[in-house]
Amino acid sequence: MKMEFYRPVNQVLKRYIEGYYFISPDKNPERLHYWTFPNNFFIVSVSKDVEIDAGNNKIIVKPSKQKNIVANYVSRYISPIEVTLENGIKEITIYFKPLAINYFLDNAHEFLQKENSLDFNPFTDFIPAMGGILVEEDRNLQQQSLENYLISKLNVREPGLMEKIIADIESDLKIEEIAQNNNFSRQYLNRLFTRFIGKSPSEFRRIHRFRKTITKQKNINNLTELSYESLFYDQSHLIKDFKQLTNVNPNTFFKKVDLNNAYVWLFI
């Protein structure tokens, strides 16, 4: 099987979409098997002629004799998910940046109330459009069709309060301070995050630090230095968060994952 990742070509779309990948069958009979670790993206996957078995931090996708288009999403996960795709699968997976799904769906909060679902069909033309893209053999036309469809659903707006709050969270401003600076309570800040992001600000920050650490580890091997560069309080804080998000300590994690993989959030 082939998994090919792409960044958006459309300059406007780059603001909202981190990237997308296509999975397609090839002559290699082996299945695709990997672990994916927590991130702050809203992830939508669309597959053709499949059956999906999901549960207990595990997803198995198999070819089905039944003709169908299955679309699912994941908005929140705090433990690694083991993914297995049998050969013969055609799939598109799209990674929406934090908050971005709200610019495509007026009712995004309804989807964000769930951590995941095997039923994602936000527009009347969504399934037919994705089905057409999945069967397109020309990869350039596939990309163009996917991006044109996403642009057609995008409601561009000027950055607002939530963008500012996310920037403050990512710069490691204290959550209590962010609430005070905006003249509302920490409880209200939690409600905003739950509605527009699908998780709490503290959880968002923990995952952001984790992802930042992965990026910086390519150039910093010392865990103490890595801790401070990634805005952790100390090394023990880094180790604690890694164990929560990966089920292993940082040294074990970095030995097992391929940091040169093109998929910034997904490790084989």
In this structure, the answer to whether residues 98 and 191 fall within a common structural domain is no
Residue 70 confidence (pLDDT): 96
Indicate the helix (H) or strand (E) that contains 46.
strand 42-48
pLDDT band for position 140 (cuts 50, 70, 90): very high
Check whether residue 122 and residue 175 sit in a common domain. Answer: no
**Quick one: pLDDT band at residue 264, thresholds 50, 70, 90?**
very low
- Of the pLDDT bands very low, low, confident and very high (cuts 50, 70, 90), residue 226 is confident
Out of 125, 153, 181, pick the residue that ends a domain.
153
Question: Which of these, 6, 16, 34, 28, lies nearest to 257 by C-alpha position?
Answer: 34
> Does 35 score more than 90 pLDDT?
no
Owning domain of residue 191 = 161-248
Looking at residue 214, what is its pLDDT?
Answer: 82
| Stretch (H or E) spanning 69 | strand 69-74
Give 220's pLDDT tier (boundaries 50, 70, 90). low
Domain boundary (111, 126, 153) is at 153
259 lies in some domain: no
How many domains are contained in the chain?
2
Coil, strand or helix at 145: helix
C-alpha distance from residue 248 to each of 38, 82, 110, 238, 255 (Å): 13, 15, 33, 12, 11
Residues 124 and 9 in one domain: yes
Largest CA-CA distance found in the chain, in angstroms, rounded: 59
Residues 7 and 128 in one domain: yes
pLDDT number for residue 197: 95
| Range 209-230 average pLDDT | 76
Q: Point out the domain boundary residue: 101, 132, 153.
A: 153
CATH number at residue 75: 2.60.120
For the chain, what is the mean pLDDT?
A: 89
Please say whether the beta carbons of 90 and 25 come within 8 A.
yes
Dig out the tokens for 66 from the structure.
């039944």
Structural contact between residues 106 and 20, judged by C-beta atoms closer than 8 angstroms: no
Residue 52 has pLDDT above 70, yes or no: yes
Instruction: Identify whether the C-beta of residue 169 lies closer than 8 Å to the C-beta of residue 201.
Output: yes
> For residue range 159-209, what is the model confidence (pLDDT) as tens digits?
889 999 999 999 889 999 999 999 999 999 999 999 999 999 999 999 998
Tell me if residue 107 falls in helix, strand or coil: coil
Residue 268 resides in a domain: no
| CA distances (Å), origin 225, targets 98, 239, 249 | 27, 13, 16
**CA-CA distance, 172 to 200, in Å (whole number)?**
15
Answer yes or no: do 71 and 144 share one domain. Answer: yes
What is the structure's pLDDT at 34?
86
Q: What is the pLDDT of residue 259?
A: 67
118 lies in the same domain as 218: no
Q: Are 81 and 122 in contact (CB under 8 A)?
A: no
User: Does one domain contain both 149 and 165?
Assistant: no
Residue 198 lies in a domain: yes
pLDDT tier, 268 (very low <50, low <70, confident <90, very high otherwise): very low
Q: Identify which has the larger pLDDT, 258 or 89.
A: 89
The answer, yes or no, to whether residue 215 has pLDDT greater than 50, is: yes
Asked which of 49-58, 115-124, 131-140 is least confident by mean pLDDT, the reply is 49-58
CATH of the domain at 210: 1.10.10.60
Does residue 113 share a domain with residue 19? yes
Q: How far is it, in rounded angstroms, from Cα 256 to Cα 258?
A: 7
Residue 244 belongs to a domain? yes
> Same domain, yes or no, for 53 and 95?
yes
Q: Is residue 261 a part of any domain in this protein?
A: no
Whether 30 has a pLDDT exceeding 80, the answer reads: no
Q: What confidence score (pLDDT) does residue 124 get?
A: 97
Are both 149 and 166 inside the same structural domain?
Answer: no
Q: Which residue has the tokens 């033309």?
A: 125
User: Please, are residues 34 and 267 in contact by the beta-carbon 8 Å criterion?
Assistant: yes
> What pLDDT is stored for residue 241 in this prediction?
87
- What digits encode the pLDDT tens for the residues 54-93? 888 899 999 998 999 999 999 999 899 999 998 889 999 9
What angle separates helix 126-135 from helix 139-153, to the nearest 10 degrees? 160
